[in-house]
Chain A
Amino acid sequence: MPIDRRLISHFDWPLVALAIGLVCVGFLTIYSATYSITEHRASGLAMKQFYWFLFGLVAMISAATLDYHHVDRIAYPVYGVTLVLLAVVYFIGHSGGGSQRWIHLGFFTLQPSELAKIAIVLALTKFFQYDEPPGGYSLRNLWMPFLLVGPLAVLTLIQPDLGTAIIIVVLFFSLILMGGLRVRSFLALAAAGIAFMPIAYHFLKPYQRNRIWTFLNPDLDPLGAGYHVIQSKIAVGSGRFLGKGFLNGTQNRLDFLPAQHTDFIFAVFAEEWGFIGCLLLLVLYFAFMIAGLRVVARAKDRIGALLAFGVVAMFFWQAVINVAMVTGLMPVVGITLPLLSYGGSSMVTMMVAVGFLLSVSMRRFTF
């Protein structure tokens, strides 16, 4: 397919640069997190992550090349495939870390709940692409989005992958708000959500309930989940202004941090690079969000703006919830730090998402 020269000239280089910058911070931190002091070398995970990044780069360029108007056509098929994969995981999935999240595909394992985040963004973008009714959508108009989000959220929740389920629900609300929800409906929904909480709580696994209670009152479980939060806070706090230096983080080194190369990678980074490092990392993320929102604002049409918004919302919520969790502001729910945390499915998903942003950005002048 010949690519319009104008598309290349409008390629959003700053956005790509910011994404690659974040990925590079990820390499360094994964290297440090998996470095063994007894053997004086890192495990191969940083290198593995690099290969995933290369794969993600191809995926990103493919997504960027795709005219985003095709979302209208591919949204439901993607949604359907995701649903099937989640069901497969539930029945035959590989069990790891106490829950079923992966499917073995020979050379790698697929985590369909990552795909679910993309699927919900695409499906809702398709739904909201037409002009909103005057005054905005009322809840009665929105049975379809609810029908779409329900199975995805439930299937991820029962894996159990509370973190991704939360992201899916948060994305859903972000998108219907952006899509144009009436203020009255929004209030009604919020009220219903609060009423639903006890029911949702009922379905949580005991250890997930523990985490919520531990968050609300860390003294409740100082030996279990509370211990993780405290060790994570010690790691972040002891980084102080300038950090302990690359490969010098003791909390990380001595295995006091849980999931140090995935969910708690920010703690490893904060310990070694200190407040200055964290500030730079936050600025990097902030700049990425703003660049993303600029794509939303400059999008040519509604479908493009919604797609771009969905991607930004995904990055934003994951980054914010992850940092808040690691610094003890929120319960530990198992959400990765986008583009930094180790994980193939997560990396490819995020790169595809960046590809969608680029696709919208590049086509803002074409007709």
Chain B
Amino acid sequence: MISLSSQKEVPPEFRRRTQLLVALVCIIFLFLFVRLLYLQVIDGERYTYLSENNRIRLKKVPGTRGMVRDRRGQLMVDSRPSFDLLFVPEDSVEPEQTLRRLARYLGRPEEELVKPFKDDKYRAPFDEIVLGKDIDWRSVVVVESHQLDLPGVSMRTRPRRNYLDTGMAAHLIGYLGEIGPRQLKTQKASGYSMGDEIGQAGLERRWEEYLRGQSGGQQVEVDALGRRVRILHEVEDVPGYNVVMTLDRDVQHAAQEAMQGKEGAIVALDVRNGAVLAMVSAPAFDPNVFARGVTAEEWRGYMNDRAHPMNNRAIQGQYPPGSTFKIVLSLAALEEGAIQPDTHLGCAGSMAFGNRVFRDWKKEGHGSVDLRRGIVQSCDVYFYQVGNKLGVDKIAKWARALGLGEKTGIDLDDEKSGLIPDSEWKLRRFKQPWFPGETPSIAIGQGYVTVTPLQMALMMSAVANGGTVYKPWFVQRVESLDGAVVREYGPEKLRTVTFKEGTLTNVRNALADVVASPEGTGGAAKSPLVRIAGKTGTAQVAEMKGATVKSENLAYLIRDHAWFVSYAPVENPEIAVAVIVEHGGHGGSAAAPLAKKVIETYLAAQGEIPAPTEKEPAGQKLARAPVDDRAD
């Protein structure tokens, strides 16, 4: 033994402590020695067995993702079981022969199955090769029944995301995709690993932590052929929570149907709380394509599509509001005292202001016009004058108060704010003062003004509910599997605008007449089942030189956008709908019927009116005959 001799100078108290330490080191090392003896000598045989061919494998089972339902409990998104075909070459004596046999059983070209095996040089031993994802039922049966001939071939069940109706509300719900390397880096701590799926956009991403559930799996002991001998440990997967949206599936469906083949957006809000009832952006993408793993070709297809199906036009499309902006002008003018409801202004078909001539859509003019006729017939000259009386800054003040020109704050990524210009903005942006000659364009929603369809629906809701601007929301509840509420969401007031007595009544009556009156521009939205209030709009895409041209004759891309913003029922408003049809031509003919359909579907779903008949009565179109087709 080593002697711990000490010098005189060594502090005496340390001698005893050092001896204690030697004893401690001896005891602990003895402990480690015994542990190694136990692992390596006594239990060594067992561990050797386990290490040969590495008999212990992990089979991970991702937790079934939560479902998404609409406000009435109808399914929007669920998960269905699917089978992936796997192959572990180390479990097969002749891997290539096995694969060729498998190809013959499945009736697939042999090279197609052998190729991934030959190409995969960097695979770690005992890692599985995925031969096929989501294979059909026949293949499952074939593989099961020839299991003995196919060493190393196995199947893995995986829940696969299923977006109903080939992707209802695709832009709102988003999609699921395999986790990327960069996401993996940031998400590793939350328990994600390679190959896991994660919400990549929309609701799927924002509500990821609730929807995801916990993955389970098995620690399995396998035999030399990779077949399961026994399960050593098993962790049950925990399904994710279900999410209940504020959407109504029927309304969404109707809105999507209405937009079929068109480009544009429809937003329907509950005016009483800002809940989103439907949101369509057309054209849309199919999230199921992402759920099964998007191919490079499909991705390029979406990206290069001129119509940009990945964009959510409802919150990202920034359009000039056109004549729908006259609602804002009317409210502002009455509130600021710029006009009275019975103030009459003349319209001779155009107005000279500064060195420019501003045209009315109706060449021969509207004659003497008051507020009601100004709105109902959408007289441009009337609103040029109203705009001049107000000035751009007061217009901007009221537009912003009603939620235009700023993000609504809806729980979706990349929302755009639109633009409400004022003199300060002009100075900042162009280093120029505001010229009075720019105001008339603003007054009819052209020029610098842009808005998103969601903002227009929000503005319309505020008109309908008496001035409250709500933050739009589309998820009302997160529920556990047994229906218990995990989280609940409710309306959130962004601000309340107070109006003078009479202001809203005057504007609302005029909006109702836009649809109801024979001379109104929105006659196409007239419903025998419910009274609808609304305003048409035609947003110019290209500046028109010279005489007005019928927009149907223009090349598609420079044809005007068609707007219709509305709410219903007039007596007791519940729903506000904003519709824009890109290059649709006139709001009255292209957008108004879509809004009507959405409103009718909603009220029918609420049981408040009978279900609308699919075909419009033949006389309906004729009823609008007196109204100029270019009416706006």
Chain A residues at the B interface, C-beta cutoff of 8 Å? 38, 98, 131-132, 178, 180, 205-207, 219, 221-224, 226-227, 230-231, 233-241, 250-251, 253-256, 270-271, 274-275, 278-279, 282, 285-286, 289-291, 293-294, 296-302, 305, 309, 312, 316, 320, 323-324, 327-329, 364
The reply to whether A290 and B51 contact each other, CB–CB distance below 8 Å, is: no
B529 at the interface (CB under 8 A from A): no
Give the chain A neighbours of B9 by CB distance below 8 A.
300-301
The reply to whether B44 and A238 contact each other, CB–CB distance below 8 Å, is: yes
The reply to whether B50 and A234 contact each other, CB–CB distance below 8 Å, is: yes
Also in contact, A294 and B4, with CB within 8 A (given A207-B189, A251-B51): yes
Most buried by A among B14, B40, B46: B40
Please report the C-alpha to C-alpha distance between residue A301 and residue B47 in the assembled complex, in whole angstroms. Answer: 50
Please report the C-alpha to C-alpha distance between residue A111 and residue B474 in the assembled complex, in whole angstroms. Answer: 48
Please report the C-alpha to C-alpha distance between residue A294 and residue B121 in the assembled complex, in whole angstroms. Answer: 54
Please report the C-alpha to C-alpha distance between residue A46 and residue B50 in the assembled complex, in whole angstroms. Answer: 29
Please report the C-alpha to C-alpha distance between residue A223 and residue B29 in the assembled complex, in whole angstroms. Answer: 31
Give the chain B neighbours of A131 by CB distance below 8 A.
11
CB < 8 Å: which of B4, B28, B54, B126 contacts A293? B4
* 6 A-B pairs whose Cβ atoms sit less than 8 Å apart in the complex: A231-B56, A238-B47, A238-B50, A294-B4, A297-B10, A300-B7
B60 at the interface (CB under 8 A from A): yes
Q: Write the chain A residue with the least CB distance to B32.
A: A323
The reply to whether A223 and B14 contact each other, CB–CB distance below 8 Å, is: no
Chain B interface residue bracket vs A: 35 or more
Q: Mark B24-45, 1 if CB is under 8 A from A, else 0.
A: 0100110011011101110111
Q: What is the distance, in angstroms, from A275's C-beta to the closest C-beta of chain B?
A: 4
The reply to whether A223 and B36 contact each other, CB–CB distance below 8 Å, is: no
CB < 8 Å: which of A240, A251, A293, A324 contacts B44? A240
B613 at the interface (CB under 8 A from A): no
Please report the C-alpha to C-alpha distance between residue A68 and residue B431 in the assembled complex, in whole angstroms. Answer: 71
CB < 8 Å: which of B15, B36, B219 contacts A327? B36
Also in contact, A275 and B11, with CB within 8 A (given A251-B54, A282-B33, A289-B25): no
The reply to whether A293 and B60 contact each other, CB–CB distance below 8 Å, is: no
Chain B residues at the A interface, C-beta cutoff of 8 Å? 2, 4-7, 9-11, 13-15, 17-18, 21-22, 25, 28-29, 32-33, 35-37, 39-41, 43-48, 50-52, 54, 56, 58, 60, 121, 124-126, 185, 188-191, 216-217, 219, 232-233, 235
Those 6 A-B pairs whose CB atoms lie nearest each other, nearest first: A237-B47, A222-B233, A240-B44, A238-B51, A275-B40, A297-B4
Give the chain B neighbours of A316 by CB distance below 8 A.
25
The reply to whether B10 and A298 contact each other, CB–CB distance below 8 Å, is: yes
Please report the C-alpha to C-alpha distance between residue A353 and residue B515 in the assembled complex, in whole angstroms. Answer: 89
Give the chain A neighbours of B124 by CB distance below 8 A.
254-255
Q: What is the distance, in angstroms, from A28's C-beta to the closest C-beta of chain B?
A: 19
Give the chain B neighbours of A222 by CB distance below 8 A.
219, 232-233, 235
Please report the C-alpha to C-alpha distance between residue A327 and residue B43 in the assembled complex, in whole angstroms. Answer: 13
Please report the C-alpha to C-alpha distance between residue A206 and residue B189 in the assembled complex, in whole angstroms. Answer: 7
Give the chain A neighbours of B13 by CB distance below 8 A.
132, 180
Q: What is the distance, in angstroms, from A22's C-beta to the closest C-beta of chain B?
A: 15
Most buried by B among A131, A178, A253: A178
Give the chain A neighbours of B54 by CB distance below 8 A.
250-251, 254, 256
Given pairs A241-B41, A312-B21, 5 additional interface contacts (CB within 8 A): A98-B188, A270-B36, A275-B40, A282-B32, A327-B32
